[in-house]
Structure 1
Amino acid sequence: MSTSTSTPDRREPAPPRPGPLGRLAGVAFRRRGRVVVGWIVAIAAAVGLSAAFAGDFAADYSAPGSDSKQAQDLLSDRFPAFAGDTVDVVVRADDVTSADVRADVDELLGELAAADHVASVGDPYQEPGGVSEDGRTLITQLRLTYENGANVPHEASEQLLAAADEAERPGLDVALGGQSIQLAEQGEIGSEGIALVAAAFILLFTFGSVVAAGLPLLVAISGLGVSAMATGLVAAVIDVPDWSTALATMLGIALGIDYVLLMVTRYREWRLVGLDSERATVATLDTAGRAVLVAGTTVVVSMLGLFAMGLSFMRGAAAVTIVAVVIVMVAAVTLFPALLGYLGTHIEKLRLPLGRRRQAQVAEGGHVAASRGWTWWGRVVDRHSAIATVVGVAVLLALAAPFLGARFGFPDAGNEAEEKSVRHAYDMTAEAFGSGANGPLLLAADISGSDAAALESVAQQIASTEGVASVSPPVLNEAGDTAVFTVIPTTGPQDDATADLVHTLRDDVVPVATDGTGLEIYVGGITATNIDSTDNVVDRLPLLIGGVVLLSMVLLLVAFRSIAIPITAAVMNLLSVAAAYGVVALALDGGWFGQLIGIDTATPMPAFIPVLIFAVLFGLSMDYEVFLMSRMRESWVRSGSNARAIVEGLTGTGRVITAAAAIMIAVFAAFIPSEEVFLKVIGVGMAAAILVDATVVRMLLVPAVMHLFGRRNWWLPASWERRLPQLHVEGRPEVHMPAPAEKDLQPVS
């Protein structure tokens, strides 16, 4: 009788059943060469298309349908000579009427008149009010061929500045002012390079490996290569302001790095539980990849809210930012798994000597155990959840408090550095002609079908209005159907009294003065345009906030199948936004904090700054919320314990969120050295807000409130449960777990 020795039946584990993202990851991993080549071709194609079809940057900051917009349209149609943007030419000497000074001024004005894009040059010696009463200062204007100073090529403005510099001599000061000159004097700071270097150091510290740290940078730079070129193509279709490229680029870099940071962390976990490179890649995209898509979608939803503002420059900024975010998302789910095909087995190579490496452990259920520090913190928040909630809310409200005293308006040349030409022109004009001369109002009158003689009476009534320093004689166009006259206020362009004067003229003085005359008069000019734009944005801000919050709550409701989570997320994110507004208001106050970042005078807050900060920050806050909640829901589905889900979610994502926030802070802090005030305050506001959001909100307030709610965090009406689609944002990690025989910890090569 023969005997045989049988071995236990050790079946190969069933292959995982990944979702669409997992299957996409598998294809990209196996055909990595084609994917990488495809991205190289995409970058080259984007460069070629941009070179051939890119449009010029343009921006219209006027409010649609406003009085100032109607004034501009009337002048554009009937009086083009007064429709162009202006450059102020200010000259100061002991006696500007002397023969030698006059000869120098005539030579300068002749040279300026011959410059590119200059339509006409005034004569300060013939114009009323062109020479100050003391005879030491004169002012005149260049009329440009561009209606909007933001669209004037910098080269043309630099040509004018060079001519002004050459005309200066001892005893003769020359300065140029105007929007186009102000923009030309704002230099480039290389924010993208600063951001990438800072991100590289943070990634190296987080992962301790050059390979692991390099993957997020490779993906982000590749996405940037396509999105940066696509900006010009977007500009060929709609108006895009030049500053929006910096916003889109920095946000694309930050999100690209953050998303891949999350997935690299998850990939390392899957390798530690025993999966080979391909299966770990599939599992990563099937879990963390879902969170990335949901997070990116929330950013897109937030930016779509800018379209509700009804302003063309907002639409342009939103469009290029959305393009950057979408390209980053595509890179994260295609290029990243392809790169893992090459580098996945070497993820821990080229380690840096950053201290003793702690051996990772596998916890119950095959999950990588969290660090002791984050576990301890999660339990502390659990034990003191009520105190943590009170402290967190108090900190956010304290940071938001300065916003109560915020003053809306547009920064002007008076807020620029003293060494700039525009600031010099602003100060000389205010000293010689009064502060209101820096913010003249341009009144456009439609006199077709009316008596032009009535204009004199209207001008006299306007001149007698409180707050008006002077009114120029009306000037008629050749057709005799349109007239223009200039009103100089007694107060500066940023003064609240100037805004009150504009409203008084429109609501009271002009209607009474033109009653029965058939005249139609519109109050326009740059100062009035800025006032109208501010009022328009402030009026529409609640619509933006309400729409974005509602859409984001619906997305979170579907993603996490909970009523409490979307509501608490919306409230927490609004508190983060309020804190950012408070920090910006404190910086613009020009005190000690403002001086730290280069704002040394009290500066109004551009109304579109809160809009941009809200759209960007709300989307980023939702990113962190999705990162955190997806891990909490994963634990909740597995264990059914609310307390365990919160602690495991917090400890499982604490390091990732902290590192991601540090990168975001570094990226937006790179805006702070900018000479453009609104980029500077966006940088300081976003950096401070992300710091607060990732620490006070995400790591303290959210888990504390969820501990207070208990199992109610995950409640959803049964009728909704059946009707809502299943996104499985947390994925199905259980299908990727190795079979029991494979669960022993495997070293990562």
Structure 2
Amino acid sequence: MAARPRLVLLLAALVAALCAVAGAGTHERLANGGYTAKDTEADRAAAVLARAGAAPPDLVLLARSAAGVDAAAAREAGERLTRELAAADGVESTRSYWSPGGALLRSEDGRAALVTADLAGADRDMAVTARGLVPGLTGERGPLEVSATGPSWVSVQAAEGSERDLVTAELIAAPLTLLLLVVALRSLLAALVPVVIGVLAVAGTAALLRALTYAMPVSVFAMNLTTALGFGLAVDYGLFLVTRFREELGHGLGVADAVSRTVRTAGRAVVASACTVALSMGALLVLPLPFLRSMACAGMAVALLAAAAAMAVVPPVLLLLGERIGRTGRTDSPLWRRVARVVTRRPAVYGVGCAVLLVLCAAPFGHVRFGLIDERTLPASAEAHATAEEIRERFAAPAERTLTVVLPEVADAAAVRKRVAALDAVAAVRAVSLPGLGPVLSVAGTAEPQSAAAQRLVAEVRAESPEGSLVAGRAAVLADTKAAVAERLPLAGGILAVTTWAMLFLLTRSVLLPFKALLVGALSLTASFGVVVYVFQDGHLRGVLGGFTVTGALDLTLPLLMAAVAFGLAVDYEIFLLSRVREHWLRGLSNRDAVVEGVARTGRLITTAALAVALVTGVLATSGLTVLKLLGTGLAVAVLLDATVVRGVLVPAFLTLAGRANWWAPAWLRKESCGPDCRAVRQPVSPSRVRRVRSG
């Protein structure tokens, strides 16, 4: 890089251009789904029902007629609609009110009826089929008014919404981030460097996601989240490197020496940070949900890509720009120095007070309820959402409230039916005849499938069914998915804890500090979850966030995804703070003075970096999709809370209380090379030495 900086930048530009070309059209390869666990009882039951032609439909058409669906003109139009759908490419089977055995597909008032279809292929193939079919089948069809819903059409509308939101987010986030950096760095040229790195990361992200689609299904929401994450991390890493370079220039180093020292110090922290974020996302790989696994792979790749872009491009840019990038006149923040001094004088008081505040924020998380993503993640005005709501209101037994029990051949179906009908949350039980299957019962429940009553009903129906029975239905899928995640969650948490501890141990050579980071990170995350529950589950502040549908539950996957991303970002800032504190400790300052210096010299930097990430992720809160709105709001709150309250108060208080124990390590790790400014054996230092270190 030092020998041929222009060549390095030329190659980087070429790679970015190739990534932009390769990433074009990525949205068309994304798909919805993957939010439920596989190989569970509910999943096996769904497979059995699918072979018998009784699987939940992939596409649902709601046909309305003012004269009633039994009128001659409406019946003729309905039969024609059914034939047209059945003859379309990609449609495996159809069911219709106007076909034999379709009596249950008529609304209670007789003015609406359903036509359903099972589509061929995987989720992505079904979405492609629905995208081509629905526009030609909906709207005015003679005496019928037709609209569509179902998983495949939800996927199409979610993809279209996320693509629009991505463009909006990029148009808003990039200029606002540049403005923030100009204010923070007081230089347009210096501010442009991190933004350019962010743009390179976005181009690479699109190409990475397209490559992943050939190996696994990738969620329609992946592009929005990973683009925001990649841009935010790249801007952070570029900011850290530029700030350290300007600081070294301010100390009197030449350009080449300043770049070299920047790479050795801030560069080391950037690499450690990216590895930590990647490992944090990697913990999701052990969870049995395809959505989270695809997001984990995308997040790991994006974090490493952001660091690679920063480390490959920023040093040559700094070598070429040199003094024009500007010097840092003052290397510390007077405000954060004052905060650190106040906190370290009374660490117990401020530490306990900060912990109490975080616990209060976390309190709403105590009544969290988990559910599954459905069409209600779309805006209420979206066709798939509005049509599904209308079906719930107009039809006596919505399919989502129905459990299907597949009994063994030898089962006494009448006795089981009688026992199940006596359960509290059951509205009706009827026998169903399906080809190739033994006795089958359809159990209509009274409770919404994501409610606690519906979950209890699943357990009660299974308890009343003989051994070998299979229970299917949305409530059963949720119950089994929650159980599967709960079984693997300790392993995911263990992987996250061990890898984070190891990374921080290698960076700090401390046994205690990694444990502190895990404890504080968990407390900070729980506080953020409490805010998310208060807003999205309980429905507060809907007007502030532009409105969304309150379902009374959080999607099971979103807190897990948010935890991995937010924890990685929290450790990101932890690394930069601890690396500076340790640097001053090794230079000879006392523990308290090292903490004050570390906070003073990183406070403004971490706050600016957190604001940049919060801005980029927070723009997702403007999305019309509740999934993105929740993730954007939750990540912005988590990052800001961590960078201010946690990193500015709680961590300095802990470091002060722990004293020299912060830096204890086994004897075989005590000898270390810490650069020309460190001492091999720490000695008591004079006040004049402290003043020199404080002045840079």
TM-score clears 0.5? yes
- Label 1:466 to 1:145 Cα distance change in 2 as closer, same or farther (>3 A): farther
From 404, 417, 427, give the equivalent of 1:469.
427
Task: String of CA shifts for 1:461-499, please: whole Å, max 9, x gaps.
Answer: 65555433345653434xx35786644322222222222
Secondary structure of 1:679 counterpart:
helix
- Quote the residue 1:136 is aligned against: 111
| Whole-angstrom distance in 1 between the partners of 2:536 and 2:644 | 24
Q: How far is 1:509 from its partner?
A: 2.3
Match of 1:316 among 294, 303, 309: 294
| 8 Å Cα contact 1:671-1:679 kept in structure 2 | yes
> Which of 121, 124, 143 is 2:94 aligned to?
121
When Rg is computed on C-alpha atoms for both structures, the one with the higher figure is 1
TM-aligned CA deviation for residue 400 of structure 1 = 0.6
Match of 1:89 among 61, 74, 83: 61
| C-alpha distance in 2 between matches for 1:132 and 1:408 | 30
Secondary structure of the structure 1 residue equivalent to 2:114: strand
**Structure 1 range deviating more: 485-494 or 60-69:** 485-494
Residue 105 in 1 paired to residue 60 in 2?
no
Give 2:591's aligned amino acid. N
Secondary structure of 1:132's partner? coil
Give 1:238 deviation, angstroms: 2.6
Gaps of at least 5 residues in structure 2 are: 680-691
Aligned partner of 1:498: which letter?
A: A
User: How far off is 1:345 after superposition?
Assistant: 3.2
Decide whether aligned partners of structure 1 residues 676 and 536 sit closer, same or farther in structure 2, where only a CA change above 3 A counts. farther
Number of aligned residues: 669
Using the alignment, how far apart are the partners of 1:52 and 1:600 within structure 2? 30
In angstroms, what is the RMSD of aligned CA positions?
3.0
Matched, 1:271 2:243: no
Letter of the 1:167 counterpart: R
Cα distance in structure 2, aligned partners of 1:429 and 1:104: 20
Q: Which amino acid aligns with 1:129?
A: L
Match of 1:680 among 624, 629, 633: 629
Deviations 1:494-513 (A, max 9, x none): 2222222222222x2221xx
Alignment partners' CA distance in 1, 2:239 and 2:23: 30
User: Which position in structure 2 is the counterpart of 1:561?
Assistant: 509
1:175 match: secondary structure: strand
What is the one-letter code of the residue matched to 2:653?
A
1:474 touches 1:485 (CA, 8 Å); kept in 2? yes
Of the candidates 227, 232, 237, which is equivalent to residue 259 of structure 1?
A: 237
Q: What is the alpha-carbon distance in structure 2 between the residues aligned to residue 130 and residue 55 of structure 1?
A: 33
Work out whether residues 83 and 147 of structure 1, in 8 Å CA contact, stay in contact via their aligned partners in 2. no
Cα deviation, 1:575-603, whole Å, max 9, x if unaligned, reads 11001110110112343323422235243
- Equivalent residue, structure 2, for 1:707: 656
Q: State whether residues 30 and 218 of structure 2, in contact with CA within 8 Å, keep that contact through their aligned partners in structure 1.
A: yes
Bigger drift between 252-261 and 103-112 goes to: 103-112
1:596 aligns with 2:544: yes
Q: Does the 8 Å contact 1:370/1:652 carry over to 2?
A: yes
1:215 aligned residue: 193
Match of 1:164 among 120, 130, 138: 138
1:634-649 correspondence runs (5 A): 634-649=583-598
The reply to whether residue 587 of structure 1 matches residue 535 of structure 2 is yes
CA-to-partner distance for each residue in 1:40-69, whole Å, 9 max, x for gaps? 333344456668999943553331331122
Q: Structure 2 counterpart of 1:373, which letter?
A: L
Q: Structure 1, unaligned stretches of length 5 or more? A: 1-27, 349-358, 362-367, 736-743, 745-749
Are the aligned partners of 1:175 and 1:421 in contact in 2 as well (CA < 8 Å)? yes
Q: CA deviation at 1:557?
A: 1.9
Deviations 1:66-90 (A, max 9, x none): 11221234356x44x4457422223
Q: How far 1:700 sits from its partner (Å)?
A: 1.1
**Match for residue 8 of structure 1?**
none
> Is the aligned partner of 1:403 residue 2:365?
yes
Equivalent residues of 1:308, 1:544 under 8 A apart: yes
Secondary structure of residue in 2 paired with 1:423: helix
In the superposition, the TM-score normalised over structure 2's length comes to 0.88
Asked whether the equivalents of residues 119 and 129 of structure 2 are also in contact (C-alpha less than 8 Å), the reply is no
Matching residue's letter, 1:467: A
Deviations 1:107-166, CA, capped at 9 Å, x for gaps:
433443344533222121441322234323323422222464x66325724641553223
What corresponds to 2:685 in structure 1? none
1:676–1:588 CA distance, 2 compared to 1 (3 A): same
Provide the residue aligned with 1:510 in structure 2.
465
Give the corresponding residue for 1:493: 449
1:176-215 matches, within 5 Å, as: 176-186=148-158, 187=161, 188-189=164-165, 190=167, 191-215=169-193
Instruction: Give the CA deviation at 1:288.
Output: 0.5
Map of 2:3 onto structure 1: 30
Q: Verify the 8 A CA contact 1:32 1:338 in the aligned structure 2.
A: yes
TM-score, structure 1 normalization: 0.82
User: Per the alignment, in what secondary structure is the counterpart of residue 134 of structure 1?
Assistant: coil
- Hey, what does 2:665 align to over in structure 1? 716
Partners of 2:461 and 2:451 in 1: CA distance: 16
Kindly provide the amino acid, as one letter, of the partner of residue 2 in structure 2.
Answer: F
Partner AA of 2:187 in structure 1: S
Change (3 A) 1:533 1:294: same
Give SS of 1:593's match.
Answer: coil
Match of residue 542, structure 1, among 490, 493, 512: 490
Q: Which amino acid aligns with 1:543?
A: L
- Going from structure 1 to structure 2, the CA distance change for 1:115 and 1:625 (only over 3 Å counts) comes to same
Code of the aligned partner of 1:468:
V
